[in-house]
């Protein structure tokens, strides 16, 4: 009976409500819905920052959706910035979606694990065609 809760722990996101302020780092292996304020770094599997959510610190996540405000650097596999998003910091990503209206003040860097395996193409135009 109690073991069934272990299998369901990632199905229900943790929630930081609008009226809640957290000072310190947060580590979460599941999903977090942030509607309040966090002064600290976050290391989270899946993070949703609501319209009134504020993070003052760096974020590391697998999936990140922002409707609120981030003041810090972001490293995430998948980043989605919705129209109300405000990011003041650099974003390192594999997949990035920015909807019209979102604000980013920082550097966007696409990280690609295959970058070391890229072969340069000779574009000098010195190609020979044998007929």
pLDDT in tens, 83-118: 999 999 999 999 999 999 999 999 999 987 544 544
Q: What is the DSSP string of 76-100?
A: EEEEEE-TT-EEES-EEEEEEEE-T
Per-residue pLDDT tens digits for 33-48: 999 999 999 999 999 9
Cα–Cα dist 1/8, whole Å:
12
Give the CA angle between residues 74, 40, 95 to the nearest 5°. Answer: 15
The whole-angstrom distance between residue 114's C-alpha and the CA centroid of its chain comes to 20
Q: What is the pTM of this model?
A: 0.78
Among 86, 36, 92, CA closest to 26: 36
The whole-angstrom distance between residue 14's C-alpha and the CA centroid of its chain comes to 17
Tokens of 57: 């610190």
Bridge partners of 49, per DSSP, are 34, 66
């Amino acid at each position: 009976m109690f073991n069934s809760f272990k299998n369901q722990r990632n199905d229900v996101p943790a929630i930081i409500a609008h009226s809640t302020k957290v000072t310190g780092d947060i580590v979460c292996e599941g999903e977090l819905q942030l509607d309040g304020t966090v002064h600290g770094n976050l290391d989270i599997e899946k993070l949703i920052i609501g319209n009134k959510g504020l993070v003052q610190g760096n974020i590391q996540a697998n999936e990140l959706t922002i409707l609120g405000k981030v003041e810090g650097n972001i490293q995430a596999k998948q980043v989605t910035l919705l129209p109300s998003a405000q990011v003041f910091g650099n974003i390192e990503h594999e997949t990035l979606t920015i909807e019209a209206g979102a604000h980013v003040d920082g550097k966007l860097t696409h990280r690609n694990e295959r970058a070391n395996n890229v072969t340069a193409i000779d574009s000098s135009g010195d190609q020979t065609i044998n007929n």
